[in-house]
Amino acid sequence: MAKYFDVHPENPQPRSIGQVADAVRSGALIAYPTDSCYALGCRLGSRDGMDRIRSIRHLDDRHHFTLMCRDFAQLGQFVRVDNDVFRAIKASTPGSYTFILPATREVPRTLQHPKKKTVGVRIPDHVVTQALLAELGEPLLSSTLLLPDEEEPMTQGWEIKDRLDHAVDAVVDSGDCGTEPTTVVDFSGGEAEIVRRGAGDTSRFE
């Protein structure tokens, strides 16, 4: 049965955030809100967490997982970014964008795209997510909480608790969050390629 954390959306309780971070460090799979929609998250390098996310979402090994990063400095540890790409990403973060970039050696091989050696990264514009990332001190390995055969991501914490009670270990609820997944931009080829149009404005990449 998943633990349920009711967290204030503007002033998240440090005790609750600390408990969620401790659970992640211990190997928990969590459902948590972001500025685009709910996501599934676990500790970076957790093979069990990755397998559970794939199982819940019915994903294959070509799926790009996302590293949810606190800031640009942390993001830069896990992906290679040249100057032009740096400026484009810097101007768009924090925000509802996921960027696909070449992975550094800090990224476990199991997390990288098997052929491209890339990984998705993003910096969320969400108070609760930022508080959790600050407490955790490392990125959250994440994937949009979009269930198989459903067109819309899940958006209500209580509903996630009800439906995924035995599939996840904790649910963080801070009220309404976004309902649209991020815009995904692939920079791995050097130029911006819009892979998915979502919550983020795509005009700056076209």
Residue 115's pLDDT is what? 84
What CA–CA distance (Å, rounded) separates 96 from 11? Answer: 21
What CA–CA distance (Å, rounded) separates 36 from 141? Answer: 16
What CA–CA distance (Å, rounded) separates 82 from 42? Answer: 28
The amino acid that residue 184 corresponds to is: V
* Of residues 61, 193, 172, 58, the one with CA closest to residue 124: 172
pLDDT digits over 32-45, tens only?
A: 999 988 999 999 98
Residue 45's pLDDT is what? 86
Q: Report the predicted TM-score, pTM, of the whole model to 2 decimal places.
A: 0.94
For the residues 191-197, what does the mean pLDDT come to? 93
Look at 14-18, 19-23, 168-172, 189-193 and tell me which has the smallest mean pLDDT. Answer: 189-193
Q: How confident is the model at residue 67 (pLDDT cuts 50, 70, 90)?
A: very high
Per the CB < 8 A criterion, the answer to whether 51 and 61 are in contact is: no
Extract the tokens encoding 74: 């942390």
Instruction: Annotate 16-59 with DSSP letters as a single string.
Output: HHHHHHHHHHTT--EEE--SSS-EEEEETT-HHHHHHHHHHHT-
Residue 116 has pLDDT above 90, yes or no: no
Residue 151's pLDDT is what? 83
Question: Angle 24-26-29 (CA atoms, 0-180°, nearest 5)?
Answer: 45
- Percentage of the chain with pLDDT > 90? 75
In the chain, the domains with their CATH numbers are 3-205 (3.90.870.10)
